[in-house]
Structure formats: structure tokens, C-alpha cells
Amino acid sequence: MTTRRAMPPLPPPIGDESEWIAWAESHPISELIGMRCLAAEPGHITIRVEGTGWPLNPNGAVHGGMVLAWADQCLGLASMTTAAPGTMPATATLAAEFLRPATPPLTYDVHVHRSGRTLVFISMDVLDTEGRLCAKASGTMATDGNTRFLGVTQESTDTDRAS
């Protein structure tokens, strides 16, 4: 039987980059796929995925589905750099364009373009082992996607925002 690890608590303030990076890397999915957060600031993160241990396509590239799964994790992490205290965004949309084979390690350069009351708009470039653009992805996060499952009520998040 597989043991499921609980999600880490809500993130520390983005102002402390090293603490925030440790939080981002402590997610079970981040650990499983070998994500390393290279930089984090409000509205921008840089993530690297070594790709070791993952089966590659015959051309030596990562399967597009994996590139997109990693992009989804990047969406969540980037949205947390602008999220209101006590909220936990969830993916609403995710799209990608594959431009060339994604030969690992991959670097995800992720930017939040707009963070509103209900939606966060994010895009990213995915760079291959030689620093070439191999994919572009974009997505929208719902700002309060699942806090109801964390025991956080809308009233408590409204109070946090007013503080």
C-alpha cells in the first residue's frame, strides 16, 4: 500500500525567497518529479526539472504529457506568489504549444501577468538542455480553488485580506 503525504501548509510570505523555495520544493509532486525552484519573487518563478528517471521518447525528449504535467505544477506554484493569504488556487485552464523536442533538463520560466480577485493569468517558456525554447504554456488559475477543503472559510480569507 502506498502512503500518501499531506500537502505542506500554506506558503510563507514570498519576501523570504529561500523559505518560499523550500516550501515549493516540499510539495509531494515537486519532490516526485525532481523539481528545483531556482528563483522566486512575486509574479515570477524559475523551475528546473532534471528529468532523470523518467522514460524518454525515442528521440531523447520528454513526453509532451509530462512537459504539460510539470507546467501545471508550475502554474500552481507561480499563482501562490500572488495569492491572498489563506487561499489555495486551482487550475482552471492549461494550454501548450510544443515547438521542438523537450530534451532534459528543462527550465520553466513562469510569469504571472495578472492576478485578479477570482483569476490569475500565467504564461511560461520551457527551455531545453541547450536553453532553446521547446514549448510555451499558459493557464488560468481560480484564486480560491480548494480552500474549502483546507478548513478555511471565505469569511476568514476576507478577514485576512482586510488585515
pLDDT, tens digit, for every residue of 44-83? 999 999 866 778 899 989 999 999 999 999 999 999 999 8
Q: Three cell numbers at 142?
A: 481560480
Question: Residues with Cβ < 8 Å from 111, sequence gap 6 or more?
Answer: 43, 44, 78, 122, 123, 124
Q: 62: which DSSP letter?
A: B
- Structural domain boundaries of the chain? 17-162
Q: How many residues does the chain have?
A: 163
117 vs 41, 73, 141, CA distance in Å? 20, 21, 11
Predicted local distance difference test score (pLDDT) of residue 52 = 64
- Give all strands (DSSP E) within 53-118, no chain letters: 90-98, 106-115
The pLDDT tens digits for 79-130 are 999 988 878 889 999 999 999 999 999 999 999 999 998 999 999 999 999 9
Architecture of domain 17-162: Roll (3.10)
